[in-house]
Structure 1
Amino acid sequence: MRTLEMDYCHGDQVASHCHAEDQLIYAASGVMRVSSAGGDWVIPGGHALWVPAGVSHAIRMQGVVSMRTLLLDAGIACCQVIVVSGLLRELILAASRMLDRRYGEHARALILNELSAARRIHAFVPTPSHPRLRAWCEGFLQDPAQDLTLAQCGAQLNLSARSVARLFQRELGMSYGEWRARARVMLSQQCLAQGQPILNVALEHGYQSASAFTAMFKRILGYAPSDWQHNLTRGH
């Protein structure tokens, strides 16, 4: 087991790269957005992303970020965002100070046990492989407040609305509206983690009211944004 410790300023980026070992990327503070060929993950403070060996990924920082990374094999086959328990947090922070190999092995066993029991959260936004649609989706992720109809999206892609609808289903397994709603909810977690008012977050992500945003957030994630903020604060 190896550890890496890095602190970043708002807007800093880590270029696309991969590791020979499995990796646990922990946001001790701040929010990270991790991008891969298949899509994006949002890692709020107090959460971590598991990245299997060989998966290329880039990272963008939202706010001042304190990143702690563990490189170890846990047998987890796919990327996933987990809620970091108090015990796991202390183990991650202490791992870099464990010079005695015996203590390191004990810590590794405890970390693997905590990882297997950790709660997973929905924090993934898939992106398509189709070049033009991928470029459009990446543009939307930069400006989730835009409110284009399917026909308007098609006009930008020089495709019919029906062709765009088929592309979304074929490439992403969901409709245009479903993908857009999921992207907005996932991206909103970056702002919620910073403690921004729910109404402000709603307006910045294309909703006309806090109630409409809350309803969609709850439909996708299963709980309200206010509960999400409360649990995040309690986790610290």
Structure 2
Amino acid sequence: VKVTADQYPYRASGTSLMAWIPKWAKEGGYEKLVQRLEDPETRKKIKEELSKVIEIRGGGENALISRFEPNPSFEGKNLAEVAEEMGLSVIDAAIKLVEMAAREKKGVGIVNFNQSEENIRKIMRKAWVMVGTDGYALKPEGVLSKGVAHPRSYGTFPRILGRYVREEGILSLEEAIRKMTSLPASKLGFKDRGIIREGMAADIVVFDPEKVIDRATYMNPHQFPEGIEYVIVNGELVVDKGRHTGKLPGEVLTLK
């Protein structure tokens, strides 16, 4: 069996408080969840199971609210801070947030600090581990800027190149680039991507190895990195001297 893995270089994971609710409690969707929370005995059972998950995940201090549409003022605060503001215990506050969100058919975004730098470095050194963001499309303005998103969507690749290659020497520049390009392309079966060669798709990033670094943080994630001057996608220039040209030549890649 050929084993591979992908990794992003952050101590925190991005998830939803809803994901910590037991599966049986969510069966049937939001309305059924609300009904179960309205029943005292069932609510108590959900609380007991959720409490164990929060404890395993490091407690309320290590769970940052990244998105909560029913009350955006909670965004950027950890669960313990929100609980204090609400005058509740951490578990009661967590249940209340879930209930409020479920009534509006929304989620509760969480950034959970549950990983160690030692393990990040150890895993990163494995030759079979690729770099991936586990993120999604964001922008510093408009609808895609809502919430306190995980910084990985903006910062994963420049963070590897700046911090773990240039500053700490965990990886060589060549190995880091392999983990970002040819290794994932090969794993996914893309025959015309991942290396620079005649006949391949012209996807090229031009960066300054002495300057490239991430700027996105957990509290201010919508920050573009530094040191990336040019980006070419399918042969078209989409970033010119650090600025987007407005061109959109990208496409969804599928196995044909």
TM normalised by structure 2 equals 0.29
Specify the structure having the higher radius of gyration (Cα). Answer: 2
TM normalised by structure 1 equals 0.31
Q: Greater helix percent: which structure? A: 1
